């Protein structure tokens, strides 16, 4: 089988925040240079890079695949948290992945680790493909703990839940104990007719980038490179390997390479709609978003005009005329919801002692932004 039939399905970028040095433009150029038709971005529990990745990949003639590595918590298993890779098969999958990530970001353990409850994932799996690593997934950790029967049961659970959208993922990256997990997973998957796929778990672009990657990890964890006792979670093999290199690694299992290509063909998600969609901002009964926005701005301005911090060189009418003009412009542009949403999270941040910036863009110089507490500088002064 041709080595060109391979696609990387587990790649982290700098948007993963803590464990990758890969930048989007360099990633898609490297994928294109290797003649790979697609690549999946699976940053840890976020989709921050999705739009930038989409545009860059399209410009290079590369098919962008959207996904994320997520941490799952299952109280019924005594192995702690485990990792699964979710790939969007379609728009439904993308929306469900967005819900899963939002759910995770609201769940943190005592160490600040965000996680997804297994029950939530089970109820939001439609449109998603699940790739379970032979070491870091639930069954992978059970294999490492010599609980082989439980590992098989877990593998069968996922297959029974999502059928042919479940894959066992094998990465040959020289992790301690890797081969034993591979052997057990291969045996179980083959006997149960569960598909497997080759992955690379890419965290840096080229092999020489390993040292820079380790430096980044140390900066995050508070260790030094010279610390012999520091945790080492990554290996030198976690770079973006070419199809030829992957073919050499998986020469005994060429179907695992082919499955990576087939998965890429199954995933079809586009940002074809250029329209903007804002969250629905709740307003009091009997009000519209437009009337509530205008009323709130006027009420806040009236409160401000009663204070001694206002500029005495301007009259009440000066302030009110300026506000009415801005309200009309914002309503005509259809942006009242945007201002209310931003005002809401800025206010929450300040109430929770989270620093916020002074504001940027043309809107930051408006009286509306000032009355809604988005900025702290009277634009008339």
Render pLDDT for 54-94 as a digit per residue (tens, 0 to 9).
999 999 999 999 999 999 999 888 888 999 999 999 999 99
Residue 341 CB burial class (10 angstroms; 0-12, 13-18, ≥19): middle
Name residue, tokens 């029967």. 149
Q: Tell me the two tokens of residue 98.
A: 């967005």
Name residue, tokens 């600040």. 112
| Contact (Cβ atoms closer than 8 angstroms) between residue 278 and residue 337 | yes
Each residue's pLDDT tens digit, 197-246? 999 999 999 999 999 999 999 988 889 998 888 988 999 999 999 999 99
Q: Considering the domain 8-266 in this protein, what is its CATH number?
A: 3.20.20.140
Q: What is the greatest pairwise CA distance in the chain?
A: 83
Q: Which of 16-30, 112-126, 201-215, 361-375 comes out lowest in average pLDDT?
A: 361-375
Q: What is the residue extent of each domain of the chain?
A: 8-266, 289-371
- C-beta atoms surrounding 15 within 10 Å: 19
Q: What's the rounded Cα separation, in Å, for the pair 9 and 7?
A: 6
pTM of the model: 0.81
User: Which pLDDT does position 273 carry in this prediction?
Assistant: 65
Closest CA relative to residue 216, chosen from 27, 18, 11, 13: 18
| Highest mean pLDDT of the ranges 103-112, 136-145, 342-351 | 136-145
Mean pLDDT of 163-174: 97
Q: Tell me the two tokens of residue 307.
A: 């204070």
| pLDDT value at 381 more than 90 | no
User: Which pLDDT does position 275 carry in this prediction?
Assistant: 73
């Amino acid at each position: 089988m041709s080595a060109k039939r391979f696609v990387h399905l587990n790649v982290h970028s700098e948007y993963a925040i803590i464990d990758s040095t890969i930048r989007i433009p360099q990633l898609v150029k490297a994928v294109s240079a290797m003649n790979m038709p697609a690549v999946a971005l699976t940053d840890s529990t976020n989709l921050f890079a999705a739009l930038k990745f989409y545009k860059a990949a399209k410009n290079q003639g590369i098919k962008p695949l959207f996904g994320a590595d997520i941490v799952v918590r299952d109280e019924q298993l005594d192995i702690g948290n485990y990792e699964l890779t979710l790939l969007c098969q379609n728009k439904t999958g993308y929306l469900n992945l967005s819900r899963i990530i939002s759910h995770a970001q609201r769940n943190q353990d005592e160490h600040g680790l965000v996680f997804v409850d297994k029950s939530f994932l089970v109820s939001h799996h439609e449109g998603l493909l699940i790739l379970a690593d032979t070491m870091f997934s639930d069954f992978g950790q059970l294999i490492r703990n010599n609980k082989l029967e439980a590992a098989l049961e877990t593998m069968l659970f996922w297959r029974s839940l999502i059928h042919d959208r479940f894959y066992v993922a094998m990465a040959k990256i020289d992790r301690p104990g890797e081969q034993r997990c591979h052997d057990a997973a291969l045996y179980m998957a083959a006997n149960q007719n569960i598909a497997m796929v080759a992955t690379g778990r890419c965290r840096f672009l080229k092999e020489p980038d390993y040292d820079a990657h380790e430096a980044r990890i140390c900066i995050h964890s508070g260790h030094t490179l010279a610390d012999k006792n520091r945790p080492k979670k990554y290996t030198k093999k976690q770079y973006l390997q070419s199809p030829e290199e992957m073919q050499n690694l998986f020469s005994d299992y060429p179907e695992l390479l082919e499955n990576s290509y087939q998965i890429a063909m199954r995933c079809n998600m586009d940002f074809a709609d250029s329209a903007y969609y804002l969250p629905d901002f709740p307003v009091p009964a009997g009000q519209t978003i437009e009337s509530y926005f205008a009323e709130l701005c006027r009420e806040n301005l009236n409160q401000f005009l009663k204070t001694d911090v206002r500029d005495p060189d301007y009259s009440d009418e000066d302030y009110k005329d300026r506000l009415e003009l801005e309200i009309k412009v914002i309503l005509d542009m259809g942006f009242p919801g945007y201002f209310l949403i931003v005002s809401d999270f800025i206010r929450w941040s300040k109430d929770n002692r989270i620093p916020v910036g002074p504001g940027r863009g043309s809107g930051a110089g408006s009286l509306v932004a000032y009355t809604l507490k988005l900025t702290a500088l009277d634009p008339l002064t």
